[in-house]
Amino acid sequence: MSPYYGANVQSDGSTVFRLWAPTAGPGLRLEISGRAPIDLQPGPDGLVEHRVPACPPGTRYRYRLADGTEIPDPASRLQDGDVHDCSIVMGQDDYAWQHPSWQPPPWERTVLYEVHAGLAGGYNGLRERLPELAALGITAIELMPIADFPGPRNWGYDGVLPYAPDTAYGTPAELKSLIDCAHGLGLAVMLDVVYNHFGPDGNYLPRLAQPFFREDVATPWGAAIDFRRSEVRRFFEDCACYWLDEYRFDGLRLDAVHAIEDEDWLLELPQRLRQRFAPRRIYLVIEDDKNRSRLLRAGFDAQWNDDGHHVLHHLLTGEKASYYSDYSDSPARMLSRCLAQGWQYQGQASRFRKGERRGEPSGDLPPSSFVWFLQNHDQTGNRAFGERLNQLCDEQALRAAIALQLLSPGVPMIFMGEEIGSNSPFLYFTSHTDEALADAVRQGRQREFEALAAVADLPDPNSPDTYQRSCPWQDNAGGQAWTDYYQHLLDLRHRCLAPRLIGARSGPAMVLGPAAVRAQWRLGDGAGLTVWTNLGSAPCVLPHPLSATPCQSLRYESVDGGLTHACAGELPAGSTLCVLEEPQ
């Protein structure tokens, strides 16, 4: 299924070039390598469409405005170089897929692994890591954005060509090989896509189609994209379909949808994609600071649970600056609410947001609607010095939090390096060739962290060294012990919990102490799951001592002797206990 926009090869060997350019002005041209320029005239609706005979895959092309500005195709499928260079005509998928009918497991059984393809060694380097991730117990890889961005180093959120995989990581065939190999190992592959903004370098859309953006609504990255327009909706829906079809990604994670002002498109998108790809199983996940449960009820599988992360981070580190201030009062109560109902903020006022209310009721949603993580690219990389959690908190408490994350019914996500106890930071990095832009980014980081005494030592985002320091596999002293711990917990999850997670429902949760809670769930087969966790530095008294009666399925303790203490009515500091009881 070819996207509407861009360069589409036809069965007769011609190529149809289609572009929405209502504000390009007179003098717009299509320039094809080795041919005379072609004058283009947008129609009344701004649409440009031109068929070029004998224009095969591999042809280089670009657009040119009357003032001489050279512009790549906004719907380019591949660039001949970087974001300012020519686009390349791509033909139909000719990759010899080895697993064309592979289906991912049900979403409820997913264990995610977020990874940056570049730091993993590109598509080929990441492919070589897949067997160890499968052996660890990962079921789905989530790639940080790969849409073409300026230069060879970027988180991916500065992309400007949403359809084109960045060649800094490898070729399209190598990307397909990565996904094909993952499927052969039983791993799904998701892609993080950015449909809420374009990066600051290489975004030519305002020159071609100013109505693509709204002048009355701003986002942290500039003017909001105008999803009220059918042309814009089609551009991004086709983009989503292209990744799912051409590269056979198994799902998408939509970045920061709270910055998409027009909600109707978000409400419609899940069903449109599922209908288009039926009977394939497709994972659809969102990041939404607004905590809108109606988006999940509209068909998205899950949302990244920032509330769950923030309260856990505060409990583990004691940090309460910035948005952590919203989670510093009665954090155990907030954690119990997140475990029982998904989110803390379901309409309450936020102190950090100066009284603004956020969130909707979420208690009726299944546990699988919430992706639980202790770290991710944002929560680590947006720190001034990119410290990982194992450098910020007590190891025993961290192990207890990991056990809570992996042995609860919510969908867990591991950030690359957690599984080996990496000590390498994950820093914010770019590779802007425009020195003025690079300096603006540096100054922006300085302003953001100006209260820090060590602000003068902030890593330079544009330095290659900042990128290289962010590789998690270069500093993993004691990594095997961490790997063994993750592998043991994920083995328990897959053997004892995963077969029961479809149909699971949250039960009550209660506060046991300043940093201790108990949560319960009824699993799909009627089994009861209870988790006690104490992330504090002192033991807490249990309302009722645990029974020492053997359990048929699972009884797990993160600290040796924890069960003995719990049977005596005390939950040790830095411990998690998990009990699974068979249906009555």
Binding-site positions for substrate read: 253-258, 306-310, 377-382
Name the amino acid, one letter, at 4.
Y
Alpha helices for 83-229 (secondary structure H): 122-136, 172-184, 205-208
- Least Cα distance to 192 among 431, 440, 498, 415 occurs for 415
What distance in Å separates the CA atoms of residue 407 and residue 492, rounded to the nearest whole number?
Answer: 8
Q: How many residues are given for the chain?
A: 584
- At residue 279, the 3 state secondary structure works out as coil
As given in the structure block, the two tokens for residue 370 are 């919430």
What distance in Å separates the CA atoms of residue 186 and residue 190, rounded to the nearest whole number?
Answer: 13
Q: Exactly one of 255, 418, 419, 557 is catalytic; which is it?
A: 255
As given in the structure block, the two tokens for residue 291 are 């905590």
Q: Exactly one of 287, 326, 418, 419 is catalytic; which is it?
A: 287
What distance in Å separates the CA atoms of residue 40 and residue 65, rounded to the nearest whole number?
Answer: 10
Q: How far is CA 494 from CA 282, 505, 581, in A?
A: 21, 18, 16
List beta partners, residue 62.
Answer: 31
Q: Is 439 a catalytic residue?
A: no
Contact (Cβ atoms closer than 8 angstroms) between residue 147 and residue 163? yes
Contact (Cβ atoms closer than 8 angstroms) between residue 377 and residue 155? yes
What distance in Å separates the CA atoms of residue 567 and residue 542, rounded to the nearest whole number?
Answer: 9
Indicate the annotated binding residues. 253-258, 306-310, 377-382
Q: Is 289 a catalytic residue?
A: no
Edge-to-edge strand order for the sheet containing 6-9?
Answer: 6-9, 15-20, 47-52
Phi, psi dihedral angles at 57 (to 5 degrees): -55, 145
Contact (Cβ atoms closer than 8 angstroms) between residue 180 and residue 98? yes
Contacts of 287 (CB under 8 A, 6+ apart): 253, 254, 255, 256, 257, 258, 303, 304, 306
List the catalytic residues: 255, 287
